[in-house]
Structure 1
Amino acid sequence: MKKFLLMTVAAAVLSTSAAFAQIIVRVAPPPPIVEHHEHERRGYVWIDGYHRWDGHRYTWVHGRWDRPPRPGAVWIPGHWDARPGGYAWIPGRWRY
């Protein structure tokens, strides 16, 4: 039983630390592509597209309309952040 408990705790700690790991890309991201989207959709927020690093090069992820998870939520866009040795992706998120 102790062994099982220890393994469970170790797995939880390792999975949590992996979630905070960031990949540093040495190549600067290209400028964002300006996407033209249809008129405003009631109850939805436009989330801009972004360049994603696929391990070899940047690929464009198209923007999309998304419904906020709750009233008053605001979308904080993701962005590439300059770090020592390269760039790290900071994902977008909803702020409540």
Structure 2
Amino acid sequence: MRLAHTVFRPAVLRRSLATIALPTLAALGLVGCVVAPVPPAQYGYGAPAYDVVNVPPPAPQYEVVGVAPYPGAIWISGYWGWVSGRYVWNRGYWHAPRPGYHWVPHRWVPQGGGWRAQGGRWERR
């Protein structure tokens, strides 16, 4: 009888429910959370996913170029891209040269009262 009286006391019962209910509720709250991977940055290959933006691009950000990781590496400078209704900076990077080609950097050109992105690309010399 003493055991039943101890287990079912209101204070003990509340403490037992709290130790079970709180972690369960916290876990259920996280069930709807999704951690999506960040899509890889596109460095000028392919057409941009937007047509014309009505906001002019900001000035380019300053980037520390540093030393080339290997002889002949070419620095591809960063650029402003348009993602979810705002400009997002895409960092520059080192790239292996392509014989017979030169790099044309990404740029924004005025068009019809807005701005159109022209992705960076390799062009034949």
Task: Give the alignment's TM-score, normalised by structure 2.
Answer: 0.55
d(CA) in 2 for partners of 1:32, 1:39: 21
Q: Partner of 1:77 in structure 2?
A: 105
Higher strand share: 1
d(CA) in 1 for partners of 2:48, 2:65: 33
Identity, in percent, stands at 40
**1:58 aligns with one of 82, 87, 93:** 87
Deviations 1:26-85 (A, max 9, x none): 0110000121111234121100000110031101000000112x3232111010001112
1:91 alignment partner AA: G
Residue 35 (1) aligns with residue 63 (2) = yes
1:89–1:44 distance in 2 versus 1, CA, 3 Å: same
1:26–1:39 distance in 2 versus 1, CA, 3 Å: same
Unaligned segments of structure 2, at least 5 residues? 1-46
1:36–1:58 distance in 2 versus 1, CA, 3 Å: same
- Greater RCO, CA 8 A, separation 6+: 1
Larger radius of gyration: 2
d(CA) in 1 for partners of 2:77, 2:48: 24
Shift of 1:22: 5.5
Task: Give the alignment's TM-score, normalised by structure 1.
Answer: 0.71
**Residue aligned with 1:26, SS:** coil
1:39–1:89 distance in 2 versus 1, CA, 3 Å: same
Unaligned segments of structure 1, at least 5 residues? 1-18
1:93–1:38 distance in 2 versus 1, CA, 3 Å: same
Please tell me the root mean square deviation across aligned C-alpha atoms, in Å: 2.0
Runs of 4+ residues deviating >2 angstroms: 19-22
Q: Partner of 1:44 in structure 2?
A: 73
